[in-house]
Structure 1
């Protein structure tokens, strides 16, 4: 199964790179909803991008924004919690044995709801303030780090089922997921 092209940015303004990925998420979600698309390929691509994007943001972008901006630390922490919730919903989608079942469609609806909420909130409460508070050189430096980590994650098959399970288990152990709310 060949991978859908997720882009391989090497540099750029970190805000632009993040927003480019957000648009990719929206396109992949549209393709997942389309019963005529190759949902297996799209699901694998979405999973890889979701994990790689979140890992790169949490490793480089969120810590830098917490230090350098007027972005409330609570907003940054909330972003990490939303990544965990998205990974949990992604796991439920990956665990569906087929892509033509009601279970798959229910899992997709939950995932799309969480991801779309996160994209909107992150763009409004984290990225917009960062445009004003973070200088261009820092945004470019963060962009290179974000892109390198994102691409490394994708190259290492970060979206595979076992890795997503591990990430969700770690998030539970860190208290990022409320166990009373299942996927």
Structure 2
């Protein structure tokens, strides 16, 4: 596998799509697959937010797309938490799973048609490899985390990625509320 950050991100996207298919097609595996999905998506999102989005915005000129992608991450975190809390045999689980699949599929499509091509075009091979290494290291550091484990520093990074100002003095709770409001207004 390539160490290019674009390829690494797309590989994670394919893994998530496979997990979605299994969650839909094999309900008996849901109790074991939900923690895998939430762990992978959370680690992937935190690594993108910390390492990839700032470079995509500043170096590849994708700031508007990054802000939109960041808002979609906030929405996905909320849906992941709902999915993890739902009974895997319930109609509520099916409903939340469908919402999550729709939201993440939309996000992946936009990222793969807008942000990632811009990075491939505007960043050197060497820079994409550097970002790939940073993405992998960050992703490994966040494996095992769940959406609720987010820190105030990570929330501040999300606000910066989403181009939301005036958040430095906010509490963690106020910052989460602000990010959710911005994501919903999108």
Scaled by the length of structure 2, the TM-score of the pair is 0.81
The answer for the alignment partner of 1:177 in structure 2 is 180
Which residue of the partner structure matches residue 78 of structure 1?
A: 68
C-alpha distance in 1, partners of 2:151/2:23?
21
Separation in 2, partners of 1:67, 1:179:
21
**Superposed displacement of residue 41, structure 1:** 1.4
The answer to whether residue 123 in structure 2 is matched with residue 134 in structure 1 is: yes
From 13, 31, 36, give the equivalent of 2:4: 13
User: Taking structure 1 as reference, are residues 164 and 67 closer, same or farther at Cα in structure 2, changes over 3 Å only?
Assistant: closer
Q: How does 1:1-183 map to 2 (within 5 A)?
A: 12-71=3-62, 73-96=63-86, 98-154=87-143, 157-159=144-146, 162-163=148-149, 173=176, 175-178=178-181
Q: Give yes or no for contact 1:29–1:112 (8 Å, CA) kept in 2.
A: yes
How many angstroms does 1:75 deviate by?
A: 0.7
1:178, distance to aligned residue in structure 2 (A): 2.7
For the aligned residues, what is the CA RMSD? 2.5
Q: Deviation at 1:35?
A: 3.4
The alpha-carbon deviation at position 173 of structure 1 amounts to 2.7
TM-score, with length taken from structure 1: 0.82
Q: Distance in 2 between matches of 1:64 and 1:85?
A: 22
* Helix, strand or coil at the partner of 1:177: helix
Give SS of 1:99's match.
coil
Q: Where does structure 1 lack aligned partners over 5 or more consecutive residues? A: 1-8
Return the offset for 1:152.
1.3
Q: Check 1:13–1:47 CA distance in 2 against 1; reply closer, same or farther (3 A cut).
A: same
Whether the aligned pair in 2 keeps the contact of 1:86 and 1:111 (CA below 8 Å) is yes
* CA apart distance, 1:80: 0.7
Instruction: Give ranges in structure 2 of 5+ residues lacking alignment.
Output: 156-171
Judging by fraction of residues, say which structure has more helix: 2
How many angstroms apart in 2 are the aligned matches of 1:134 and 1:48?
Answer: 29
